[in-house]
Every structure is written in structure tokens, then in C-alpha cells.
Amino acid sequence: MARHWALAVTLVAGMGYMAIITLLHSQAVSPIDEPQYIDYIDKVYGQGIVRSGEYLGELVRGLFACHGVIPFGVMGAACGSDMSDPSVFPFGGISSAPIYTPVQFWIDRVVGDAISTIPGIDQLAGWRLVGTLWLGGGLAFCYLAARRLRIAGWGFVAVALAFVASPFGFWTFSFVSTDAPIFLFGAIALWLTMRIARGESSGWWLVALGAAGSLFKATSLVAVGFAFVYLVVYRVIALRRAGVRGAALARGVFGRFF
């Protein structure tokens, strides 16, 4: 474990910082679609999935009215008044989250509710703190990839913590965000691509990763697609340098990785 001290420092400092930032948040919501995601999480136990054209529920209407959206303030009906008319809320009160599968929101709900059993952590904070776990997983795989590039020690710690403290880190991991698990999938894709290129893993693992990532967000397929393009180009260059041409080239490319 001592030789992985850089990872330990990064996880303790990065996840600790993100958890503190998250717990310091009020119930004002992020403008990056967080109300839509909170609504989905709130509904998964009762209905499993949010459908197209569905109205935002009472929880999110109350957040809009009483706590507002950063940095725009309160929206919709006045706090404490009748909130039964969805049309007075942003987006006409209609959820835009049905474009996502329920997988992440089930995870956020189950894990977040477990976190909220800790004294002093309310339910919304528990849901948000799941982002810290996505961050930790992503940092771990970034570390594995960095070691293959001979980037370790304080160099890795500095770059990783700069990422954590960036505006992207703040909005992605301290609020409910569909980008949080995609960071983890992207980091795994990078590490896996390095292993496949060196013949240490099968390309089918990348296929499996793309399928798993698509259950969270379709954009995860972009990272997998770039990985496949890189692997094909990498292998073509290697084979051409070895003098391989024609059909043998095609067989050599895909036969090696799969």
C-alpha cells in the first residue's frame, strides 16, 4: 500500500474536499438540470421510471419555490402557496429526464438514502454525496492509467486535485449530475485501452464497458468509440511497420484485440 501513497492522498483529499463542499450546499439546486434528476430519484421507488410528458413532482416544485436555482433564485409559485399548477414552474413543469434510463437514479436513491441515515445528513445531501463516490472511482482508474504513463507521486496528486477543485468538478460531483458516472466510465476506458493496446486485455471488455456505460448515458459511447479508433490506428501503424498489407492487415488488427 505504501507504494500507492499518491492514490491514497488523492482519494482522502479529493473525496474529503468534495464531501465537505457538498454538505455546505443549501437546498438551492444546480442550474445544470439537477431539478430534473432529483425528481427522477424521488420517483424511482414509487414508479420505477419517469415517462415522457410527466410533470415534476411536489419535491422539486418546493425546491424551485422555496430555495431556487443557483444563481437565479426562486422560481414558480411563492413558497408555501398552492403549487398544484405545474405550468408556473420552469419548463412548464414538465420533466426532461425521461431521455435517461433509470439505472443511475436507482443507484443514487439506494446509496444516497443509505448515506442519509448518518446523523446530520438530510436526504438531498445523501443523494448528492453519491457524486463523491463516482469521483473516487474515477480518480482510482485515472491513477492506474497515469502509472502506465509513468506519472506518479506528487505530479499525479497535483493534477488530480486541480481537476477536483475545478469548476467542472464542483458542478459535476457536488450536485446530482449524470456526468459524474461518465467520468468513471471514461477513466476505465482510458485504462482499458492501454491494456488492450499492449495485449494485456481483450477488446471485448471495451464492448462490455460501452454497453454498461450506455445504461447510464449515451455519451459514454463517445469515449468507447474514440478508444476503438485509437486501437485500430495503433494496430494498423504497428502492422504496416512490420510489413503486413492487405487482408492480412485486417485480420491482424481485429484478431489481436478480439
Q: Given the C-alpha cell 506528487, which residue does it identify?
A: 154
Taking all residues of the chain, what is their mean pLDDT, rounded to a whole number? 91
Q: Given the C-alpha cell 412548464, which residue does it identify?
A: 92
pLDDT of 257? 60
Q: Which percentage of the chain shows pLDDT scores above 70? A: 92
Contact 34, 177 (CB under 8 A): yes
Among the listed residues 119, 120, 109, 133, the one whose alpha carbon sits nearest the alpha carbon of residue 47: 109
pLDDT of 163? 97
Contact 106, 113 (CB under 8 A): no
Return all residues near 196 (Cβ < 8 A) that are at least 6 apart. 202, 203, 205, 206, 231, 257
pLDDT of 28? 97
Over the stretch 5-26, which tens digit does the pLDDT of each residue have? 999 999 999 999 999 999 999 9
φ/ψ (deg, to 5) at 227: -65, -45
φ/ψ (deg, to 5) at 29: -100, 155
- Global pTM? 0.91
Over the stretch 33-65, which tens digit does the pLDDT of each residue have? 999 999 999 999 999 999 999 999 999 999 999
* CA–CA distance, 193 with 199 (Å, rounded to integer): 10
Residue 201 C-alpha cell reads as: 486485455
Return all residues near 120 (Cβ < 8 A) that are at least 6 apart. none
Among the listed residues 51, 56, 152, 67, the one whose alpha carbon sits nearest the alpha carbon of residue 99: 51
Over the stretch 240-252, which tens digit does the pLDDT of each residue have? 676 666 555 556 5
Over the stretch 64-123, which tens digit does the pLDDT of each residue have? 999 999 999 999 999 989 999 988 998 899 999 999 999 999 999 999 999 999 999 999
pLDDT of 219? 84
Q: Is the pLDDT of residue 233 over 60?
A: yes
CA 177 to chain centre: 7
Q: Which of 47-51, 148-152, 163-167, 191-195 has the highest average model confidence (pLDDT)?
A: 163-167
pLDDT of 250? 59
Length of the chain: 258
Q: At what angle do helices 58-66 and 34-47 cross, to 10 degrees?
A: 150
* CA–CA distance, 39 with 58 (Å, rounded to integer): 9
